Chain A
């Protein structure tokens, strides 16, 4: 069974602080996606990373794909209350279904 472990599971920080969440696997994958899910809604795609060592920026969010293509991180600078949500990484391990990580539930305190 191919698993994606995310850490931390829960994170609660003050508005304006920085944070990093992680996604790790024992398997190598060709690409990885990050999603954010708000309560009562489906996950929304944030980014797809493809190349080992790749860094992508989306405003205050920075996504990095590990050199070994087995891990990824999401860094948020100067967190805002609108960043609150469940952050999920997801990988297609080659069987045409997206496997999701365990998720990081982020709460930004005003």
Chain B
């Protein structure tokens, strides 16, 4: 089965840029989606289809992929980080070969 790997935690100072990685085989060939989850709340979609932002999500949130060929790492970048960005972040893909929805293990972002 397809596996998405995220670092358990990242930390960043206010005003700086946070980058949260999501690794997976040929992830560049899949549509990657990102969710933000604050304590006690349901997740919120912040980026879909690698780079698209839903209505109401600030431009500070952006997505990208990198690596050779189709790419092995997707990245969620949060610019000008604010205290309110402190949350868990999950990447997600749909693996077409197995018709399965797959989530990464999540990354806890701490704003110092």
Are these two chains actual partners, yes or no? no
Mark A residues whose CB is within 8 Å of B: none
